[in-house]
Amino acid sequence: MDRIRKLELIQRSLGIRHKLKVHDSMKAPDTHEDLAVMLLAKWELEDELRAIEEILADARHATVAHKRTILERGEKRAPFERETRKRVSEQISN
């Protein structure tokens, strides 16, 4: 999964967390029908948040496995780390 997609998912999860906090701070509805609608909306947000968290956890697990493989082989740096370092040093020099 690319970095941009990860950032999009993290931002979406932060937005959902905020919405859930708003739900928790709202006063309880007056009718059972309103309560049912509110609970259903909250559950949908919680389900989406959980799905995003699982996707990010899987991606992170894959990244950790990749880094572990690199470390076990004895390589000092992964190719993408070298590229990142090069970009950062170029940005600093400019």
Residues 6+ apart with CB under 8 A from 70: 78
pTM: 0.71
Count CA atoms within 13 Å of residue 80 on its CB side.
6
Burial of 52 (0-12, 13-18, 19+ CB in 10 A): middle
Q: What is the mean pLDDT of residues 68-85?
A: 71
Residue 33, pLDDT score: 95
| Pair of tokens at residue 70 | 């690199």
Residue 73, pLDDT score: 87
Residue 87, pLDDT score: 64
pLDDT tens for residues 3-56? Answer: 999 999 999 999 999 999 999 999 989 999 999 999 999 999 999 999 999 999
Helix (H, G, I), strand (E, B) or coil at 69: helix
Residue 5, pLDDT score: 96
